[in-house]
Structure 1
Amino acid sequence: MTTLTRRHALLSAAALPFAASLTASPAVAKAQPQGVSVPLHNRFKLGAFEVTTLLSGTRTGDKPQETFGTNASAEDFAALSAANFLPVDKSQNFFTPTLVNTGAELVLFDTGLSAEGTLAAMTAAGITPEQVDVVVLTHMHGDHIGGLMGADGTTPTFANARYVTGAAEHNYWAGAANEGFDKNVKPLNDKFTFLEDGGSPVSGITAMAAFGHSPGHMVYVVESNGQRLAITADTANHYVWSLQKPEWEVRFDADKAAAAATRKQVFGMIAADRIPFIGYHMPFPALGFVEPLGDGFRYVPASYQLMMEG
């Protein structure tokens, strides 16, 4: 026989309000939902260099096959998307300038859609625009040159910087009567130097011709203390639709056959050398690896490989 002591009775009485709460209506959180959130910067070491990717913007797009895989059948596009857990009716685009601090100079690769977005990411990373020594433009599309000028449209965002780009790229756009180029790049022409394939904007960084996406599109290989990283810009615009199927055409590629050949060449090199790369439109933090997969490549997002000290 169980004896009910005074202590048991008191504990049972104290538990009654809690038990009642379990049968009451569900609690409503006092905190309001904040919406989707992603970090604005990611930083890691590459040898003696420090590399920071900046999320200058991200947006959702509809009808992705109007941009990616335009020469693929709807059935093939849907099948590849499903195999990679992707919706077939939407895509997410990312815009990722990159900072490389060599210890001697702070180098910014591309400037985003606007100064506002890029500066917000730089602020989150603890960097001011006055600290940028060199701005390298991989090519002249609007989402790469949009941050060159401030909100007033006349004041350079990176007032202390010199500017570097490929000669072929600059020569093409200088004669194209392009509004974005004329507004953002032309006022800075006297501060530019121009590279050919194999040129170097600063010590430890080498340009490599990757034409096709634009007439003079360049990628850059960064090397420090035997460690290498490729900054591939828009060589591939999507981590599945452009990498697994490098021959699938992209609406924004100027020369689609050349762009496909360049994708195979550049990512073939990256896969063979097993080096990391930063892709301007890859899912943020835009850093990963590739390995051969069929006629293309499988994207492997970086986890902690470049985070370890020592």
Structure 2
Amino acid sequence: MTIKLTRRAALGTAAALPFATAAAPVLAAGSDAKANSSIAKTFKVGDLTVTTLLDGSLPRDGAKDIFGGGASDEDFAKVSAENFIPADTAQFFFTPSLVNTGSELVLFDTGLGQGGIQAALADAGVSPDQIDVVVLTHMHPDHIGGMTTDGAPTFANARYVTSATEYDFWSAQEAGNNVGDLVAAKVTPLAEKMSFIGDGEQVASGITAVAAHGHTPGHTVYHLESNGQRLLLTADLANHYVWSFAHPEWEVRFDMDKAAATAARRNVLGMLAADKVPMVGYHMPFPAAGFVETRGEGFRFVPVSYQMMG
């Protein structure tokens, strides 16, 4: 499955997503921002308060095997050198996001399940029992690991939202499938508190689901819009801030449907670049927020600096 995006009908049909003409924002942290630490950073998107939460970070060898499917060794090394990073090692970041709508605290993904999400929330002045909604962009282990702690729900008072396609796929796996087993342990016990969302539907006012399948069968990104400002939570649309942008067609080991993931990457990044909409990517270098510009036949991720830190 692929998604088709255009500049004017970005992220879905105009009828389903009436934000296509919203102004590109110049974002700044407001006076009510609570987090400005090495593991929690708060921004404003209109009346929405967005806090990115660093759940953890680690290096991993074999970068080309992970991010450079279809690339020659020479091309992969060239792109790496041009961007001042090694070609053999990748630094992974894991960054859930918290959105305060004014009436609800909405958490997007739950991290690895090693305590990082609780620490980052604490830096943001939030306890797990204050979370009202947990949205799962997809069900890879680094996104659902923090659903439970010592066998109990980490976010005891939350309701849960995810894609029906995603849940149905993983819950149908036979025992012995690593992800399916984790879903059975972490997600299925909370199914009675879960609602399912489709492309163009809203989690809450100003938070709209956008199907971006390929990474997983139901992988979903989320568009935020408030007072004419926009931001896209891109989840695992692009897993690395250099290689997946410079060459969206390079296959990523973690993408289940490589062709669909490539199409989603190119279409969404193209919209972000054309409309100058900022993004937060789950695996981008912390604080995981930035902009996208076109570069040659690919793109470049431009990390935030002072313009969103105010």
TM range (shorter): 0.7 to 0.9
**Cα shift at 1:306:** 2.3
Report the equivalent of 2:162.
165
Which letter does structure 2 place at the counterpart of 1:188? L
C-alpha distance in 2, partners of 1:255/1:244?
20
Pairwise CA distance, 1:273: 1.2
Residue 115 of structure 1: how far off its partner (Å): 5.2
Look up the SS of the partner of 1:243 in the other structure.
Answer: helix
Residue 285 (1) aligns with residue 283 (2): no
Match of 1:155 among 145, 149, 152: 152
Q: 1:243–1:299: 8 Å Cα contact kept in structure 2?
A: yes
Query: Whole-Å Cα distance in 2 between the matches of residues 183 and 68 of structure 1?
Result: 29
Please give the alpha-carbon distance, in whole angstroms, between the structure 2 residues aligned to 1:239 and 1:307. 20
CA RMSD, Structure 1 to Structure 2 (Å) = 1.0
Residue 143 of structure 2 corresponds to residue 144 of structure 1? yes
Aligned to 2:266: 264
- Structure 2 counterpart of 1:64, which letter? A
| Structure 1 residue 210, shift from structure 2 partner | 0.1
Structure 1 segments unaligned to the other structure (5+ residues):
1-37
Contact 1:197 1:208 in 2 (8 A): yes
Structure 1 counterpart of 2:173, one-letter code:
A
| Separation (CA, whole Å) in 2 of partners of 1:120 and 1:196 | 31
Query: In 2, are the aligned partners of 1:198 and 1:207 still within 8 Å (CA)?
Result: yes
Structure 2 CA distance for aligned equivalents of residues 242 and 194 of structure 1? 29
Deviates more, 1:171-180 or 1:95-104: 171-180
Which AA in structure 1 matches 2:250?
A: W
What CA distance in whole angstroms lies between the structure 2 residues aligned with 1:81 and 1:263?
Answer: 19
Alignment of 1:24-63 (within 5 A): 39-63=38-62
Paired residues of 1:115 and 1:157 also in contact (CA < 8 A): no
Alignment size in residue pairs: 269
User: 2:201 pairs with 199, 202, 217, which one?
Assistant: 199
Identity %, equivalent residues: 59
Aligned structure 1 segments of 4 or more residues deviating by more than 4 angstroms = none
Aligned equivalents of 1:302, 1:247: Cα separation in 2 = 25
TM-score normalized by the length of structure 1: 0.85
Cα deviation code 1:114-141 (max 9, x no counterpart): 1511101111221100110000000000
What per-residue deviation string (whole Å, max 9, x for no partner) do you get for residues 162-220 of structure 1?
00001111111110231111111000000000011101111110000000000010000
Is this contact kept in 2: 1:213–1:255, CA < 8 A?
Answer: yes
Runs of at least 5 residues in structure 2 that lack an aligned partner in the other structure: 1-36, 175-179
Counterparts of 1:193 and 1:171 in 2: how far apart (Å)?
A: 12
For the 8 Å contact 1:46–1:306, the answer to whether it is kept is no
- Whichever residue aligns with residue 179 of structure 1, its letter is D
The amino acid of 2:152's aligned partner reads T
What letter corresponds to residue 165 of structure 2 in structure 1?
A: A
Indicate the structure whose relative CO is greater, using CA pairs within 8 Å and at least 6 residues apart.
2
User: What's the CA shift for 1:283?
Assistant: 0.5
2:75 aligned with 1:92, yes or no? no
Task: Please state how far the C-alpha of 1:305 moved relative to its aligned partner.
Answer: 1.9
The residue type paired with residue 181 of structure 2 is: E
Determine if contact 1:230/1:278 at 8 Å carries over to the other structure. Answer: yes
CA contact (8 A) 1:115 1:149 kept: no
